[in-house]
Amino acid sequence: MPVALALLPMLVALLGVVIDERTHQGYTTWLSACRAAGPSIRSVLVFTFELLPTAVMGMLTGVLLVQLAGMWFRHHTWGVPSALAAHGGCVFGMVGGLLLCTLALPLPLMLGAEGLLAALAAAWLFPRISQRRSRTSVKPRTTALASAQ
């Protein structure tokens, strides 16, 4: 579950990239600008917000969907840890993807590496978050209060 949730924002962002590319050559211009500017976090972020606005909105929509899934499944033992692991995996994947844009990799390879990084990070985080949550959860009382008897 956390792997699928980690990939959700990326898939919705990819839909936004397709829309940006078809409407104003957003992805092509973004890729050229990122590669020309070199590996700089500032330039990658500025070019992303200016040239791929629909992709950014798609990513934010995907993040909101992950939040909603976490809220919807909060009563299951895996619900909240899955959403949290998905957010962590998505962060690793998207940061890695933004840095990969400066390399001259083919698009399918770049997207595959970004998705793989997100999936691996979410799969690694999930058991650690679940384990920590089970240790810190509130255990119900087994004895009644003296004043209630």
For residue 116, pLDDT over 70 is answered with: yes
Q: What is the model's pLDDT at position 112?
A: 85
Q: What is the model's pLDDT at position 45?
A: 80
For residue 76, pLDDT over 60 is answered with: yes
Closest to 26 in 3D by CA, of 8, 51, 46, 3 = 51
Q: What letter would DSSP give residue 102?
A: T
Contact 81, 61 (CB under 8 A): no
What is the three-class DSSP state of 27? Answer: helix
Q: What is the model's pLDDT at position 142?
A: 57
Least confident of 47-61, 102-116, 130-144: 130-144
Question: What tokens were used for 124?
Answer: 């690694």
Least confident of 38-47, 59-68, 102-111, 140-149: 140-149
Q: Please tell me the distance from the alpha carbon of residue 137 to that of residue 144, in angstroms, as a whole number.
A: 20
Q: What is the mean pLDDT of residues 84-102?
A: 82
CA 50 from chain centre, in angstroms, equals: 20
Place of tokens 């698009």: 107
Q: What is the mean pLDDT of residues 118-141?
A: 74
Q: Please tell me the distance from the alpha carbon of residue 111 to that of residue 113, in angstroms, as a whole number.
A: 5
Query: In angstroms, how far is the first alpha carbon of the chain from the final one?
Result: 45
Q: What are phi and psi of 78, to 5 degrees?
A: -95, -5
